[in-house]
Amino acid sequence: MTKYVGQSVARKDANEKVTGQALYAFDIDYIPNMLIGKFLTSTIAHGKILSIDTTEAEKLPGVVAIVTGKDWPVKIGLYAGDRDILAVEKVVWIGQPVVAVAAESETIAEEALSLVKIKYDPLKPIFDPVEAMSSKDRLVHEKMADYNHSPAFHPIPGTNIANHFKLRKGNIDHGFKQADEIFEYEYSMPQISHAYLEPIVSIGHYRKDGTIVVWSSAQSPFTVRYLLGITFATQTSNITVKSPFLGGGFGGKAGLNFEPLAVLLSRKANNRPVKLSLTREENFKSAPIRVGMVAKLKTGVTKKGKITAQQVEYIWDSGACADYAVNVGRAAGYVSIGPYDIENIKSDSYTVYTNKPYATAFRGFGHLELHWVIERQNDIIAKKLGIDPLIFRKINTLKPGTGITGNQHRLREDAGCIDECLDKVWSELKKNKEKTTPLKPWIFRGIGIAGFMKGPAQPPNSASSAYVKFNEDGSAIVSIGTSEMGQGTITSLAQIAADELGLPIEKIKIRGDRDTDRDAYTWQTVGSRSLFMDGNAVKNACLNAKDQIFDTASQVLRVPKKDLVIKNELISPRGEPWKHLSISEVVMGYMYPTGESIGGPVIGHGKYIAKMTILDSETGAGNPAIFETFGAQGVEIELDALTGKITINKLISAFDIGKAINPQLCEGQVIGGSVMALSIAMSEQLQYSDTGELLNPSFVDYIISRPGDIPKEFITHFIENPQEDGPYGARGIGELTMIGVPAALGNAIADAMNVDIFDLPITSERVWTEIQKQRPEIIASLKEKLMEEEK
């Protein structure tokens, strides 16, 4: 019986954050002899570097070190080693760091950079990913064949294609021949910013003994450590990465960012630590962003609504580097048809270089994008066939235990049920649709729904570990590697530990910061994997600790280990709670009245490794995920036909998460993720000039949702079909909370006015333009009514 799992326990990190005691990387300014680092960036999108003159900058008092790409010409990256620490032979986007300086103050560093002279030989840039995919004469990376690549990825040298992922199932030509109707449409989404509150900060210290210490606003400190070892050709034990509290990440801090540059500056600056703090504008122009996407979708269906064939092409705009973006394209590729059981599939997912800022992981990892395509198309098809959109989806959804995914993998019986999610959302949407009518004739009401699925995108050997140690009073410290950046994972893991160890949750401590020398290993904090994988590791660590505790207690109580239980900080024989020992009497070693002692300090350890397979390079066949979380989301909107303004009355979500470890945290994730998704759907886009200059590198011009944009009402349902190998049956939810929102919004607009939107963001201007194009008769009718009212 659980005491804490399933309960809405208050966040473990709340007090530190609310009181301002939480330490972020930006706050670290007490390291002795620390210098300030700044970098100078490219002013052209594509060009050869002819010369860099740092003579005048070097003379400036207070300048300690200046570095260029030639000081350490090593390509860095996790999946594709395609990025320079500083540009070496050429620049590939406006904002690419070219020269860096370490100085006694920020003012001196900035003045030094103003004295640096760089000469370029401009090359013709390429900004359109579709054009870039077919271009052979304008290459962002001419030497791509020489780069290191993970074997899971398939670049095409001599092109701008950084990766081509294929998904094949059945016979696509036969599938289209079976179809009564064939539908073809194109969709797109722009590059966007992660828009986290805390800009990237990296502090590097290359010490005199060759060891390296880094403090960084990093989601995945163990990955940073691993990649720094490769970058500086040193063993992992020589590197320590410390990651304080994070002010948001959303994938933007998942890989290697500016840590190597800070370390390189420190190495050149006589081994003094160097702090690099990006301004908001630098974060927009020089730090990673989310991929853009262009898609073509061709669907064959019968008159009764069965999808017979799905052919899709995704083109992902990775910008100038594709290290993490290749995995986004891969993950979206193997889930490219969404949560549907389709016999005949041909899907090609291309990750393509362009001369724009480079892309990385982003919350949802390509799934928000692919479901925008799939779920918009599903609604269009259902309407054309005259089939209810819920029924059309349920005809084709994957069913637990029988459904075959696009990877030709049978769905687990305990995988969860998307049909239940769809039913919950649709019933809520239909409740009030016909009960009220808008007050004005130019206001149109509509509802829209979208289904979806997502699991963690990670390699088959990704793993998590945990250990638990005890203090003299019986309280416990749980060590994990996953980062806390607002999702609440450490609270959920504390709940698991408290129930497993029979302790009050107040006696479970999990730190909010990370240190690779101190903490247990985990692969990365990405993909909604932490609760599932680190949760299993914590549970196993607690079981291991209990086994040690029972070893000692069984000798003292003279009861077999199998008959012992822990409850309320007491160890006792099952059914005989009056014969007990306190945990505090045992966990540091038990001493008999005579002074004889047995046992010793208990340290429990646990681990968990992914249960997946490598995917076939030609078909994508295999098992790519440890779990799939299914969900559905819907919106009820009011649309002003005269202005294109959209008001969200309701946002409804349903997720089959197996088990809600902490319902309040889950609900918080739903609200936060949904609002973020609405922001992406309705306003967010990075805009560029004809020369590749980013035009909106601030929150003044890069529009994100404000409080007035929040829906009037949130309705959330958590469905609990537990997965047997999940911790207490739980699956991840964090990324899922945003995946269906854009498609549901697009479908609601179509429902309201029979206007189809194919490109994000759905701004008021875009909606108004499409109404004028697609429904001019409505506008004419409204104008007549307004004129009559004026008379």
Torsion of Cα atoms, 72 then 78 then 82 then 86, to 10°: -30
CB distance 624 to 334 below 8 Å: yes
How, if at all, do strands 514-515 and 239-243 pair? antiparallel
CA gap 38, 105 in Å, rounded: 10
CB distance 478 to 497 below 8 Å: yes
CA gap 664, 14 in Å, rounded: 14
Question: Which ranges in 692-740 belong to alpha helices (H)?
Answer: 736-739
Report, in angstroms and rounded to the nearest whole number, the Rg of the chain calculated over CA atoms: 28
Sign of CA dihedral 306, 312, 317, 323: positive
Collapse the DSSP code of 35 into the 3-class scheme (helix H, G, I; strand E, B; otherwise coil) and give the result.
strand
CB distance 204 to 17 below 8 Å: no
**Fold match, 31-123+197-248+253-285 / 463-609:** no
Collapse the DSSP code of 381 into the 3-class scheme (helix H, G, I; strand E, B; otherwise coil) and give the result.
helix
CB distance 627 to 694 below 8 Å: no
CB distance 715 to 650 below 8 Å: yes
Residues 775-789 as b/e (b if ≥16 CB within 10 A, e otherwise) read beebeeeeeeeeeee
Sign of CA dihedral 646, 652, 656, 661: positive
Q: Spell out the residues 6+ positions from residue 124 whose beta carbon is closer than 8 angstroms to its own.
A: 46, 138
Q: Which residues of the chain have pLDDT under 70?
A: 1, 433-436, 790-791
How, if at all, do strands 514-515 and 508-509 pair? unpaired
Task: Report residue 231: phi and psi, to 5°.
Answer: -60, -40
Q: What is the pLDDT of residue 1?
A: 61
CB distance 675 to 669 below 8 Å: no
- The CATH number that domain 31-123+197-248+253-285 falls under is 3.90.1170.50
Distance from first CA to last CA of the chain, Å, rounded? Answer: 73
**H or E, element range at 331:** helix 325-334
CB distance 5 to 224 below 8 Å: no
For the chain, domain boundaries: 31-123+197-248+253-285, 289-403+415-458+613-777, 463-609
* Helix and strand numbers, DSSP H then E, in the chain: 20, 33
Residue 165, both tokens: 């992922």
Q: What is the pLDDT of residue 432?
A: 74
CA gap 254, 526 in Å, rounded: 7
**Matching residue, tokens 């259902």:** 382
- The CATH number that domain 289-403+415-458+613-777 falls under is 3.30.365.10
How, if at all, do strands 47-53 and 713-719 pair? unpaired
Collapse the DSSP code of 526 into the 3-class scheme (helix H, G, I; strand E, B; otherwise coil) and give the result.
coil
Domain 463-609 classification at class level = alpha beta
Task: Report residue 657: phi and psi, to 5°.
Answer: -100, 10
Q: Would you call 216 exposed, middle or buried from its count of C-beta atoms within 10 A (0-12, 13-18, 19+)?
A: buried
Residue type, 473: D
CB distance 247 to 212 below 8 Å: no
CA gap 457, 317 in Å, rounded: 19
CA gap 150, 351 in Å, rounded: 15
CA gap 337, 781 in Å, rounded: 40
CB distance 651 to 711 below 8 Å: yes
CA gap 669, 661 in Å, rounded: 13
Q: What is the pLDDT of residue 791?
A: 63
Query: CB neighbours (10 Å) of residue 741?
Result: 32
Q: In the Cβ-directed half-sphere of 484, how many Cα atoms lie within 13 Å? A: 27
Residue 230, both tokens: 């490769």
* CA-based nearest residue to 527, from 324, 740, 237, 691: 324
Give whole-number Cα distances, 583 to 539, 542, 570, 580, in Å: 18, 13, 6, 9
Sign of CA dihedral 138, 140, 145, 150: negative
Diameter over CA atoms, the chain: 104
Query: CB neighbours (10 Å) of residue 20?
Result: 8
Angle formed by the axes of helices 530-557 and 489-501, nearest 10°: 20
Strand blocks (E) in 514-573: 514-515, 564-567, 570-573
Give whole-number Cα distances, 308 to 450, 452, 492, in Å: 20, 19, 42
Task: Report residue 121: phi and psi, to 5°.
Answer: -110, 100
Collapse the DSSP code of 219 into the 3-class scheme (helix H, G, I; strand E, B; otherwise coil) and give the result.
coil
